Structure 1
């Protein structure tokens, strides 16, 4: 993922206000907080107001999350989390994310989520409605 990408290259932008509790003793955002901040973006995509209701007893689970810290993130402040879909498979979705503070990319993430049936704990296929919804956030190749 291009670390220098602007937030405009992400169809979904989520905003988060940083908290003092998110910091280390030097005022930097602690590295353990980034997973929670990125969660804001993918949860909004998968479960937000514009997302279709998931059918049956299904839910999304993270199967992989890789975060790369590429710049200093400080408190006080806010961050923007950009989220886009890289690939849609039968029961899973690959996401790309980037976090920006004051228009600087400070972190990137690659995330894979799988739709599971709660009763069987097995993957299940994405509905056509969910595929269509996710397709609206696909990465556009330049």
Structure 2
């Protein structure tokens, strides 16, 4: 854990989601397998950027994952749930950098830096954000 992640709390994040742990998520050591953490991060991103009540994307557009850098801090144990925090740290021309964190029972278990790119499904290329999209994304920089 470094100074940037020390003291992180779920309340520090604009986006807050949770995942139920499955027995199949565990490995031979009895804790949740490291590969499952990528799924936790996906849940957090999707809950924030694909909110059907407040859509960010127009038809024919999506986000593609460009980077996922996970720091494993503590074990996650089955059974139970995890809470996932997601917030925007930087908005580029067509990409968004996010900080994410996974908590179990209030304890920080992992943090991540995630980059997604705004993607035009017709041209199969990145697409610059509109002013409206940029304003919404920048609003997610601070905690919710």
Does the pair score TM above 0.5? yes
Indicate conservation of the 8 Å contact 2:49/2:56, yes or no: no
After superposition, the C-alpha distances for 1:5-57 in whole angstroms (9 at most, x for unaligned) are 11111111101110101001232000010000110011111112344252242
Structure 1 segments of 4 or more deviating over 4 A? none
SS in structure 1 opposite 2:24?
helix
Equivalenced residues, count: 140
Q: Does 1:26 align with 2:61?
A: no
Distance in 2 separating the partners of 1:61 and 1:51: 19
RMSD: 1.5
Aligned to 1:79: 82
After superposition, the C-alpha distances for 1:57-110 in whole angstroms (9 at most, x for unaligned) are 221101111001000110011100000000011111000001000110000010
Aligned to 1:13: 16
After TM superposition, the score normalised by the length of structure 1 is 0.91
Gap regions ≥5 residues in structure 1: none
